[in-house]
Amino acid sequence: MSTTIQIDEKIKAKLDELKMHRRESYNELIEKLIACIVKSEKKNHYDEFLHKIQQQKMKELWDNKEDKIWENA
């Protein structure tokens, strides 16, 4: 089943530029764009997860008495 959606002419022109070949359908193109967004969001969540894990260890490494002594040297 298919449906009709309305988009601005400028958006249509941008979609046309993104097509890998002229016979590629808008449906195929939109599926690829969605896949890219989902993959990007997963990567960002993974990066945030790693950052949170690393924060505690970095705090342990950087917040120590030996380093504080050097701050006043």
For 2-56, the pLDDT digits (tens) are 899 999 999 999 999 999 998 999 999 999 999 988 888 778 787 787 788 788 7
**Coil/strand/helix, residue 26:** helix
Task: Please state the pTM of the whole predicted model.
Answer: 0.56
Token reading at 65: 């008495």
Tokens of 11: 């958006």
Distance CA 23, CA 35 (A): 20
Residue spans per domain, the chain = 9-71
CA distances from 22 to 16, 61, 62 (A): 8, 55, 55
pLDDT value at residue 58: 77
Considering only the C-alpha atoms of the chain, give the largest distance between any 2 of them, rounded to a whole number of Å. 73
